[in-house]
Amino acid sequence: MATLLVLGSKPDPELPPESAYDDVACANASGFSVAQHGLRRPAYTVISAILTSGIGSGRQSLNALQGLSTEALYYFPRPRKRRKPLKRIMEAALDFRTSAFYFRRQLRKANYTWHRFVRQDNAWYQGLVARLCEGNEGLLRQLREKSPSTGIMALVVGMSLGEYDRFIISGFSFELTHSYAANPEIDERGTKISRHTPTDVRVLRHLSKACGNIFTTEQTVHEKTGIPLLSL
């Protein structure tokens, strides 16, 4: 079995030595940090369809991915919600910009390459998290209120593969900050804190206690979730 480094997009990630892990998994544009720090090519990357939706932070992330690559690319779609007919018409353009077809086209325009494309619906990702939550009702209610972030999805995908027996979280901060640019969402919302934070913290706390094989190099993650710090 092997160790997987799950890398988020926060600035100046606390990276473990390369001898501490076997593979790297990325969330959204954290491949930028992989290139910046000369790490090995990601075994897989989970990228949210929001990156091709047209929002400012998505355009920044696409720019950061220019010319990079991953072995497997996991397309993480927007959740499908029941909408009234007028709402469906109003959001038709957004649905197209976040579709798998448009997503792939935009990433190829950014010269981002992959060997294998994995397309699953949003329910598949939510199901991975729900199974790992082992029927915890409070946590399942939290999942219904707000989905976990792409970083958490990158972790649970790795846990579902059956190829790794230890996981190291780096580059996570529960904030909207990125290593490659100033995220415009911070000014738009007037806060650095991600809306995913309450869900992410609860999921990580549960997984840490239930599995005992998750470690972090980030002091913030340790303080908020109780995940043990990796001894370097």
User: Taking a C-beta distance cutoff of 8 angstroms, is the pair 217, 230 a contact?
Assistant: yes
Residue 230 lies in a domain: no
pLDDT confidence bin for 80, thresholds 50/70/90:
low
Does 193 have pLDDT greater than 60?
yes
Q: Whole-number mean pLDDT of the chain?
A: 91
For the segment 187-206, the average pLDDT, to the nearest whole number, is 91
Does 78 have pLDDT greater than 90?
no
pLDDT digits (tens, 9 = 90+) for 34-75: 999 999 999 999 999 999 999 989 899 999 999 999 999 999
pLDDT confidence bin for 88, thresholds 50/70/90:
low
pLDDT at 83: 53
pLDDT at 184: 84
Distance from C-alpha of 68 to C-alpha of 42, rounded to nearest angstrom: 10
**What does DSSP say about strands 23-27 and 44-48: parallel, antiparallel, or unpaired?**
parallel
pLDDT at 192: 87
Residue 122 lies in a domain: yes
pLDDT at 229: 96
pLDDT digits (tens, 9 = 90+) for 99-150: 999 999 999 999 999 999 999 999 999 999 988 888 788 888 888 888 899 9
pLDDT digits (tens, 9 = 90+) for 10-19: 999 999 999 9
pLDDT confidence bin for 177, thresholds 50/70/90:
confident
CA atoms within 13 A on the CB side of 106: 25
Residue 232 lies in a domain: no
Residue 231 lies in a domain: no
pLDDT at 188: 86
User: Taking a C-beta distance cutoff of 8 angstroms, is the pair 170, 16 a contact?
Assistant: yes
Measured between alpha carbons, how far is residue 62 from residues 181, 184, 189, 191, 205 in Å?
11, 14, 21, 23, 31
Helix (H) and strand (E) counts in the chain = 11, 7
Measured between alpha carbons, how far is residue 93 from residues 81, 89, 189 in Å?
16, 8, 23
pLDDT at 39: 96
Does 91 have pLDDT greater than 80?
no
Does 157 have pLDDT greater than 90?
yes
Tell me the two tokens of residue 225: 């979730």
Cβ neighbours of 89 (radius 10 Å): 10
80 conformational bin, left if phi > 0, alpha if psi -120 to 50, beta if neither: beta
pLDDT confidence bin for 221, thresholds 50/70/90:
very high
- For residue 125, the domain's CATH number is 3.90.1480
Residue 77 lies in a domain: yes
Whole-model pTM: value is 0.93
Residue 11 lies in a domain: yes
Residue 166 lies in a domain: yes
**Nearest CA to 138 among 211, 198, 209, 212?**
198
Residue 51 lies in a domain: yes
Nearest-5° angle of CA 22, CA 77, CA 115?
45
User: How many domains is the chain partitioned into structurally?
Assistant: 1
Domain residues for the domain of 34 are 2-225
Structural element, H or E, at residue 124: helix 122-132
Using DSSP, state whether 27 is helix, strand or coil: strand
Any idea which residue has 């949210």 for tokens?
48
